């Protein structure tokens, strides 16, 4: 593993590049997008383990912190989905330009809000494959009740307190212009979708809308008995291996 910084709009995005051992030829790669308020290690260091598993399959992996998160520069209060999409496309371009990477074989993996971000970035760069862990489409497609509660919180406090992290009006305004399913459907390649049966973001109809968006390109895996963070050792091991095998199959 080696550290790799990428500039974006006056900020430095910091990340870690995992390369397969003993290879001289350019290799395929997967860019990892973490969830809301997370970092490039992700829950239980699962991104680290997944990156190492990718490398064992002959695939490079780049894990980075979004602006305002982890070690990257920027302010968390400025977070919007569109900005994260722009960061992701910049990272894809930088990774594709790396001398160790085959520019024609770069894929995306995203968790939660990072999954939503990856699904929106994928059509902009026509990545090789797309891996979504519990994508948080509800972040931009909230119920009327949820949107009302968020608006009231922002009006009273200046932000909505989401698990100890603030969501500001800029995030809400940006989300109004995003259709998480129609916008994602423009990506024509293969998609792996992994979700827990008890996931709080798995609102009624979400899976059906992803199935419609990705039509025959979707490889859906429902993990029984776990929630948003795939909270058991077997579930996380299965998630890591499924993702590595999928990336290798479509590299």
Residue ending a domain, among 151, 177, 203, is 177
- For residues 77 and 89, state if they share a domain: yes
- For residues 241 and 151, state if they share a domain: no
Give the pTM. 0.95
pLDDT tens digits along 97-118: 999 999 999 999 999 999 999 9
Q: What CA dihedral angle connects 112, 180, 86 and 188, to 10 degrees?
A: 100
- For residues 85 and 134, state if they share a domain: yes
- For residues 115 and 197, state if they share a domain: yes
- For residues 89 and 25, state if they share a domain: yes
- Residue 220 is classified by DSSP as E
Question: Could you tell me the pLDDT band of residue 136, with boundaries at 50, 70 and 90?
Answer: very high
Residue ending a domain, among 128, 158, 177, is 177
HEC per residue, 98-149? CCCEEEEEEEEEEECHHHHHHHHHHHHHCCCCEEEECCCHHHCCCCHHHHHH
CATH of the domain at 40: 3.40.50.1820
- For residues 130 and 148, state if they share a domain: no
Name the token pair of 183.
């916008």
- For residues 132 and 211, state if they share a domain: yes
Asked if 142 contacts 150 with a C-beta cutoff of 8 angstroms, the reply is: yes
- For residues 190 and 227, state if they share a domain: yes
- For residues 123 and 170, state if they share a domain: no
Q: Domain count of the chain?
A: 2
Over range 189-204, report the average pLDDT: 93
- For residues 63 and 151, state if they share a domain: no
- For residues 22 and 91, state if they share a domain: yes
pLDDT tens digits along 146-194: 889 999 999 999 999 988 999 999 999 999 999 999 999 999 999 999 9
Which residues form the domain of 22?
Answer: 2-140+180-249
- For residues 136 and 160, state if they share a domain: no
With a pLDDT cut of 90, the percent of the chain lying above it is 88
């Amino acid at each position: 593993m080696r550290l790799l910084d990428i500039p974006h709009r006056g900020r430095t995005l910091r990340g870690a590049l995992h390369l397969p051992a003993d290879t001289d030829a350019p290799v395929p790669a997967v860019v990892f997008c973490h969830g809301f308020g997370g970092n490039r290690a992700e829950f239980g260091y699962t991104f680290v383990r997944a990156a190492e598993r990718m490398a064992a399959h002959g695939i490079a992996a780049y894990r980075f912190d979004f602006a305002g998160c982890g070690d990257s520069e920027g302010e968390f209060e400025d977070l919007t989905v569109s900005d994260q999409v722009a960061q992701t496309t910049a990272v894809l371009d930088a990774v594709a330009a790396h001398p160790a990477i085959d520019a024609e074989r770069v894929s995306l993996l995203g968790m939660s809000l990072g999954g939503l971000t990856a699904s929106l970035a994928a059509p902009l760069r026509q990545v090789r494959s797309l891996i979504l862990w519990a994508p948080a489409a509800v972040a931009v497609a909230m119920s009327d009740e949820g949107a009302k509660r968020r608006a009231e919180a922002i009006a009273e406090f200046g932000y909505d307190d989401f698990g100890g992290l603030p969501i500001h009006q800029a995030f809400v305004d940006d989300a109004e212009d995003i259709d998480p399913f129609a916008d994602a459907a423009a990506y024509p390649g293969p998609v792996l979708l992994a979700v827990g049966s008890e996931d709080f973001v798995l609102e009624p109809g979400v899976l059906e809308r992803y199935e419609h968006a990705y039509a025959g390109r979707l490889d859906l895996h429902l993990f029984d008995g776990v929630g948003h963070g795939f909270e058991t050792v077997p579930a996380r091991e299965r998630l890591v291996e499924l993702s590595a095998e999928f990336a290798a199959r479509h590299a």
